[in-house]
Amino acid sequence: MSRVGKKPISIPKGVEVSIQGSKIFFKSAKEQKELETYGRVQIELKDGALSFTSVDSQAQSRAYWGTYRALANNIIIGLSQGFTKALEINGVGYKASVSGKNLEMALGFSHPVIYPIPAGIEMSVEKNVITIKGADKQQVGQIAAEIREFRPPEPYKGKGIKYSDETIMRKAGKTSKK
């Protein structure tokens, strides 16, 4: 039994859900999303709640049960509230700015790093914090990981780009012989 799959998803105001065959359609004032289940789970929509049940008792079917419930829940949260990731830039001379549809960063290279902002994503920079907002949890996390990859934090001085809730394990530097 899936502990995640058993819980019904309550649908908040402002989000409309409809089911057509094995597809679930989600609609808000701004966006539309859909989730294809390929008939791996049974979907029910009643009393403002979306619930999933397993098709049979095979292990693979039970795995899909919790997965599709989690994916549908993430879509509903994304459409109603949105997802946010914050990245901190640490280092002398490291800075970022949003200009038009690009995020421009100076990260100690001989050239500026320019990252194009995809559609459906909002970015803002305040001092040394880059904030990424969007309706798709996977896309927001992937963009944050790609930006962090340009200059990951190093363990000696802590310079680089890190998640705001991430802690960097610091290493001791070289010691001199006496």
pLDDT tens readout for residues 102-122: 999 999 999 999 999 999 999
For domain 4-81, the question of CATH label 3.90.930.12 is answered with yes
CA–CA dist 58, 56 (Å, integer): 6
| pTM for this model (two decimals) | 0.86
Stated as kind and residue range, the H or E segment containing 3 is helix 3-6
The H or E element that residue 145 is part of is: helix 137-150
At 15-39, the pLDDT tens digits run 999 999 989 999 998 889 999 999 8
CATH of 83-163, one of 3.90.1170.50, 2.70.180.20, 3.40.640.10, 3.90.930.12: 3.90.930.12
Our CA angle for 130, 133, 134, nearest 5°, is: 150
